[in-house]
Structure 1
């Protein structure tokens, strides 16, 4: 999602429950070359959330290349990101375009489970070799069918300025004890050890996700996200108890800082480390500063789980429930599932990486190459809390709960009790 803040994603919190916000509705942009069902029409309609100039221009280049490669003409329906997010449920229940932009994880699974998307198993027979097992797993629904073709993604990691670390002789920590030891050293060197910001709330979700996966494992984390159970348990309380150790090393006044301000602390070498997504910080370290951006995996807490799970939100494409040109949609997605198509799109966006194998990484920035190494070495990929769990839980419940914890760490028991009650109510609603 180039040039889109994570907050933009979270503003679509009503979508999972099928709630439609006020404002203009999404609507399909018309027929697909006179074809119907599995017909062989040459036009495929495409519902896109990329109406802003940069990604729109990149998609136009890809669609032109797709026509040359496949003979398919893509008729895009450009919609701004927030409107797309807020109205997609009604759009998919109405007369949607053949193909549409969407996200992996729970967001994809929700619409697949509602019967509002077609499986793309036939496409995966052609593109399967282009993807890792972890990427394949994020493209399937519980029914075992594929519903998403991944297109681009980016990791959450611990970022730092290489030149600052070289100046001070710092080395990458791999364990929690090494991480805390490094933070103490940075503080003694008059640096902010960890640039941390929480004005908008969502950046802190990444730290929770990593701590939970490092301490309780990926499977526990995903079950916690998907089922809404076990919030008021010793395992989750231990995560917050561990988190308390980091607070003394955070940016002063972090509750009032935006992620951009935290990233500037890193860029200006006032801070030593920051947990964030490449999609965000890659827009701050640009030009001659781009290759000064280093990254490493969030440190191991429990050797049982190591550093095997990586937070890597995936964007991709899905096919609507009754596309007018299913054959054309499959041909288009088969093309978009290639390294060639994804590399063309990423030419204007150094803050993300391609999901398919085989991209010419010599054209990547060093942070992009480091991101690929981190992601492809992962055993499991999570999607960030707002995508791995229900949006009516991540935004209105977890963000204020974590903000309260960071203000008053001693109140974690009552905070988790409240979170647990709200989770049970939300999941019991069945929406």
Structure 2
């Protein structure tokens, strides 16, 4: 290699080395995580129901506002995490901090937190938004979530749930090692264990429901003394986008069978003759909604199929587990599922007049011309249509118990 070629090669190496050093410096606009207040949970309540007004009013506020909404943020307390490794630290310190503000603009309130916290807040890691049902009964969901949907800092995959009590209380925990927002987000993954938990409703899915003015269900959560539980579901009416009512656990199970979107769960029934317990654990659940048109009349038939196993039975010990027993058990389970479906269907169709199952969706696919005529007032039309259903249970396993 000649001297000139070597010099040229050396220059190229030096240039690329300098460029590599520049690009390895990381992000120029980075913010240290210790210098940020990371939001993991949000709670929205009626201002007059949180009992925080007196405390909040003691702080001097110099801007015009109406006390409509109490906005609560759950922030990961990095300082408490740092203290947890110190033997002299306060063992009662919780790994999170809840702060609340009352007003009428969520954006204004979130900026108001900047005058109370030493670190700027970011919503990149938001896990859950909890909306109090009283607030949703008064204000439509579009208004309550408008700021979240427009804010670039908030990810659209966060979970949205409804609280039948104070949302702020859902963001409290008994223990010192639990961050309530993480707990709620993790609980939604337990759908494979019970069909009392709805498919997660993310903010982006909810935006689609709101834009199409569809009725839908939100997971209902209750809080008592720092402990939370998923219990039933909140019904939001499509046209108004406001809270319409609540399904209890049995009604929710019935609606889940109609939708066919359960991942796991148990059906507890009782033998017709002995009145003893038979518990069926489902492995699969399928539902097919078939619309029928006769003149101007709309009707639906729902075919529901499930396979599973007998996981528990309190019958006579020496009764053989044979084909006769299985047939009888299948009929018993089918009867119970029919009872649950009747409860759920009556509540959503006759009382709430809200199609949260998807009958309208099936009608729009199979009969688009008919759907075009009724879609503007579908919930009202849905309350009048005739719906039948058929349940077929197949027991494929009986556990380790053998026949005699």
Q: Counting strand residues as a fraction of each chain, which structure ranks higher?
A: 2
Q: Counting helix residues as a fraction of each chain, which structure ranks higher?
A: 1
Q: Same fold (TM over 0.5)?
A: no
Q: TM-score, normalised by structure 1?
A: 0.24
Larger Rg: 2
Which structure ranks higher in relative contact order (CA pairs < 8 Å, sequence separation ≥ 6)? Answer: 1
